[in-house]
Amino acid sequence: NAGVTQTPKFRILKIGQSMTLQCTQDMNHNYMYWYRQDPGMGLKLIYYSVGAGITDKGEVPNGYNVSRSTTEDFPLRLELAAPSQTSVYFCASIGQTYEQYFGPGTRLTVT
Amino acid sequence: LAKTTQPISMDSYEGQEVNITCSHNNIATNDYITWYQQFPSQGPRFIIQGYKTKVTNEVASLFIPADRKSSTLSLPRVSLSDTAVYYCLVRRDAGNMLTFGGGTRLMVKP
DSSP labels, A41-70: S-EEEEEEEEETTEEEE-S--TTEEE--SS
Q: Do A102 and B45 touch (CB under 8 A)?
A: yes
Interface with chain B: mutation pick from A100, A106, A107, highest number of B CBs within 10 Å: A100
Beta-bridge partners for A34:
A47, A91
Q: Read off the amino acid at residue A48.
A: Y
A32-41, A95-104, B93-102 — most confident range: A32-41
How sure is the predictor about B45, in pLDDT bands with cuts at 50, 70 and 90? very high
Measured in whole angstroms, the distance separating CA B30 from the mean position of its chain's CA atoms is 18
Q: Please list, residue by residue across B85-95, b when 16 or more beta carbons sit within 10 angstroms of its beta carbon and e when fewer do.
A: bbbbbbbeeeb
Distance of alpha carbon B3 from alpha carbon A59, whole angstroms: 14
For the residues B60-65, what does the mean pLDDT come to?
Answer: 96
Residues with Cβ within 8 Å of residue B40, at least 6 apart in sequence: none
Distance of alpha carbon A24 from alpha carbon A53, whole angstroms: 15
Which residues 81-110 of chain A have a CB within 8 Å of chain B? 90, 92, 94, 98-105
Q: Is the pLDDT of residue B94 over 60?
A: no
Q: Do A100 and B97 touch (CB under 8 A)?
A: no
Distance of alpha carbon A60 from alpha carbon A74, whole angstroms: 17
Q: Provide the pLDDT for residue A96.
A: 76
Q: Do A48 and B96 touch (CB under 8 A)?
A: yes
Given a contact cutoff of 8 angstroms between Cβ atoms, the answer to whether A64 and A47 are in contact is: yes
CA distance A77 to chain B (A): 20
Residue of A nearest to B42 (CA): A104
When CB atoms are compared, the residue of B34, B45, B100 closest to A43 is B100
Q: Provide the pLDDT for residue A1.
A: 67
How sure is the predictor about B96, in pLDDT bands with cuts at 50, 70 and 90? low
For the residues A41-66, what does the mean pLDDT come to?
Answer: 93
Residue of B nearest to A49 (CA): B96
Q: Provide the pLDDT for residue B30.
A: 83
For the residues B12-17, what does the mean pLDDT come to?
Answer: 97
How sure is the predictor about A39, in pLDDT bands with cuts at 50, 70 and 90? confident
Q: Is the pLDDT of residue B91 over 90?
A: no
Q: Which helix (H) or strand (E) holds A100?
A: strand A100-102
Residue A22, burial from CB neighbour count under 10 angstroms (0-12, 13-18, 19+): middle
Residue of B nearest to A90 (CA): B43
